[in-house]
Chains A and B, each alone.
Chain A
């Protein structure tokens, strides 16, 4: 099973390449999507990979690619503003420039999942690194069997990509189950923790390949719910998040036990990181 994406970094991986901001779309109060145009090269990536975005004079942050891998010429990244660099990214305007390194890291095992049911389980902004995998399955729908998206968010107002969720939910070739922790007036969907969706999706637990991404504790309980449902641990994949700095396994900032999240991940088979996820403090 080839986890390493075909995409290779051709340039010096430590040198940012300038990209022009084509558009900045607000998603949620603190979350936005950047559409970046390369100035002197095309870009390709595999679902699940990330780049390092550099705001000149401010700093650099790792951000998952959230766009369609079948759509060339545009780098789409969804960002939550949680600190100085991401705040600066949110303040950018069309025409501004950022530096981009990457894409880096392992990807969701799209080829290995061919011929199987595919379950994508996300929580909160964890849907962003999963969205390229959703696009890939939909772009190549005949290669996969039943396709299920399980998504949880805090409230209806905090559903990421709400319009797309609605569009995907209206398709005949995929099932979308969404649950919120806190309902507000007018919400007619499910209320409850996202792990409760695991038993409701129309998929064959013996056959399904699962891609899981969200807050750490949600992934821990989500994976447990999937295992309880009968999904094999070696067919559950998770995307881990750590404080990546160099992104190529030199600096050690993202070291998690014996693993470098930037180089060996961010996508891992759950069985390989199951013990790490349960570590109380690193």
Chain B
């Protein structure tokens, strides 16, 4: 097992994954670094990657006309950034910007999509893990919508 496969396997998102699946991931992975303020991707752009954040903080933002960029969620070490690569038309729906010095692993999305089709077990495993992320973020967004802390007058 290569160093990058071992490193991926130690991350909670990939924990317990089969070694050959980790090898597939490692094959399309590359390390990336961002400085605070660096734009990782822009809304509407090609969703050609996803990222595993190793260090640092990333803000997901929406540009609100007249109000500027609006941070809707922050992501941190150990979390996955980017799921738009999974679904057509493969376009980013938010901006992503590094808030602090950030290290991440970038996975090439077209290569991942091909690998999913060629190896259904790998594809299922990956989809299951991404679906958990999506479900957890949807639940978090719903809790945010509840406005828990508002006045009860």
Contacts and interface: CB of A to CB of B under 8 A. Distances in A.
Interface of A: 30, 80-83, 123-125, 152-154, 158, 179, 181-183, 185, 187-193, 195-196, 199-200, 214-215, 217-218, 221
A183 B151 contact: no
B96 to A, nearest CB: 13
Contacts of A82: 151-153
Nearest to A216: B148
A125 B150 CA distance: 10
Contact of A191 (B59, B143, B151): B59
Interface of B: 57, 59, 67-68, 70-74, 76-78, 99, 140, 143-144, 146-153
Contact of B147 (A179, A181, A191): A181
B138 to A, nearest CB: 11
B43 to A, nearest CB: 17
A193 B144 contact: yes
A183 B70 contact: yes
A27 B119 CA distance: 57
A153 B68 CA distance: 22
22 contacts: A30-B151, A81-B153, A82-B153, A153-B149, A179-B74, A181-B144, A181-B149, A183-B70, A183-B72, A190-B57, A191-B59, A191-B71, A191-B72, A191-B74, A192-B73, A192-B144, A193-B144, A195-B143, A214-B148, A217-B143, A218-B143, A221-B143
Contacts, number: 65
A183 B73 CA distance: 9
Given A185-B68, A199-B78, A217-B146, A191 B73 contact: yes
Given A125-B149, A200-B77, 10 more contacts: A82-B152, A83-B153, A154-B148, A181-B147, A181-B148, A181-B149, A185-B67, A191-B72, A191-B74, A195-B140
Contacts of B146: 217
Contacts of B76: 190, 200
Contacts of B74: 179, 189-192
A215 B71 contact: no
A179 B74 CA distance: 9
B99 A188 contact: yes
A181 B143 CA distance: 9
Contacts of A189: 74
B29 to A, nearest CB: 23
A243 to B, nearest CB: 12
A188 to B, nearest CB: 6
Nearest to B78: A199
A249 B63 CA distance: 54
Given A190-B57, A191-B72, A196 B148 contact: no
A22 B149 CA distance: 29
B149 A80 contact: no
A179 B149 CA distance: 13
A152 B99 CA distance: 19
Contacts of A191: 59, 71-74
A110 B152 CA distance: 31
B149 A196 contact: no
A178 to B, nearest CB: 11
Taking each of B57, B68, B70, B73, which has the highest tally of chain A beta carbons within 10 Å of its own beta carbon?
B73
Contacts of A83: 153
A83 B146 CA distance: 22
A187 B147 CA distance: 19
Contacts of A200: 76-77
The 6 closest A-B pairs by CB, nearest first: A124-B149, A183-B71, A154-B149, A193-B140, A193-B143, A215-B148
A218 B71 CA distance: 22
B75 to A, nearest CB: 9
Contacts of A80: 151
Contacts of B143: 193, 195, 217-218, 221
Contacts of B67: 185
